[in-house]
Amino acid sequence: MISLIIPSYNNLQHLKNVYASIQKHAPKAEVILLDDGSTDGTWEWMQQVEIEANNKTRILKSEERVGHTILYDKGIDLATNDIVGILHADMILGPNYIENMIKHLQPGKVICATRIEPPLHPAGNEKIIMDFGMDFDTLNIDAFEEFVMHQQESNLDRVTRGMFAPWILYKTDFLAIGGHDPLFAPFPYEDSDIFQRWILAGYELVQSRDAFVYHLTCRGHRWTEQVGQDDDYFKQVSHKAGQNYIRKWGSWIQNDEFQHPIIIPKYNIAFQVTNCNMTLLQTLEPWCDRIYIDDAMQEFIDHYIDDEQPNTKFDLTKRVFCIGHNDPEAENDIVVSIDGNTCTQTDFQYIQQLSEILQDSGQPGTFKLGTLQITIVSLIAQESQLIVCKH
């Protein structure tokens, strides 16, 4: 009934463990393994597994590292079952995982499991902190499975609102909104983006509290050299993806205590900046739909676009302008006037929270917020336009 998709980059030992747990607890599941340009023997192992799996395991190799944002979707395209789910390579399935996920599933629903994690991150209501091993070679699988069986008895059929990997849903529901947005390739934040789009599409996001995985955390793309230490590649792509998330949604990620996304309205906002400089342009541009700066700074604009355009699929020539050549209030719903000589850190905090401020008390007219002058021509939320990702 289900296809499980697992991308992996140089995580062979973790991958062997998650695959073994699937064979033990979900032997009838179709498994789709995707090699993200690994150099540690992953592809050779996948080829051998495919031969031995009697057509229940499918494999795909990317010659270069493209990231799980792309590979999740390629794996789901390959899936032959109606239900699809994703796993991280550093996860281990607990007993009854599939049964306790699928029993809650319906069209228009996304079901996630409950993570049990070693004490590497802060505790949260959406997970259980318990040490059953800190790495692939120190796992106490027997103790983990015994703990899961007790938890399943005390949490039988219990659900809460929430969303995090691993999750399952109907393949048709995944495809209906266009899958993950390649804007966030290779990673991260593709998950927060699709979670919000699922909610806006009317899907219900549910966490099964009696379906468990052990999750070592961050081994697949973040802590590739040393546990607890972000690698340089992650830092680089995380910054790029973060900037693009803000460009798309106009605000940063927010979740409730169960990691259920909190949707912040997306408004059409422009910045009109006098006495601008390159640092201010770099800082402000992602936080608006259009930015207009002093006429004398066309050379700055050209330089900024040349440097930043390789980092985003947004056409920056349609986002950055000189003031004199345009009429911001005629082209945008909301215009924030900023003087670069007087703008403060407090003003930037207002900018980061502007969508929430407007949601709570915005109405057509002009008002001051710190040194900012804000003119509201129209206050129409536009986040529903972001539901479907058109590749």
**pLDDT tens-digit readout, 164-199:** 999 999 999 999 999 999 999 999 999 999 999 999
Distance CA 162, CA 207 (A): 5
pLDDT beyond 80 at 362: no
Q: CA quadruple 300, 302, 305, 307: dihedral positive or negative?
A: negative
At 23-43, the pLDDT tens digits run 999 999 999 999 999 999 999
pLDDT band (50, 70, 90) for residue 108? very high
| Token reading at 159 | 């659900």
> What percent of the chain has a predicted confidence (pLDDT) above 90?
90
Average pLDDT, the chain: 96
Of 71, 118, 92, 98, which is closest to residue 14 (Cα–Cα)? 92
Show Cβ contacts of residue 239 under 8 Å, excluding neighbours closer than 6 positions: none
To the question of pTM greater than 0.75 for the whole model, the response is: yes
At 194-204, the pLDDT tens digits run 999 999 999 99
Of 176, 168, 372, 160, which is closest to residue 272 (Cα–Cα)? 372
Other C-beta atoms lying within 10 Å of the C-beta of residue 12: 19
Output phi, psi for 84, to 5 deg. -125, 150
The answer to whether 273 and 335 have CB atoms below 8 angstroms apart is: no
Asked if the peptide bond before residue 166 counts as cis, ω within 30 degrees of 0, the response is: yes
Q: What pLDDT does 225 receive?
A: 76
pLDDT beyond 70 at 391: no
Distance CA 258, CA 45 (A): 37
Strand residues in 244-293 grouped as ranges (E): 269-274, 290-293
At 77-106, the pLDDT tens digits run 999 999 999 999 999 999 999 999 999 999
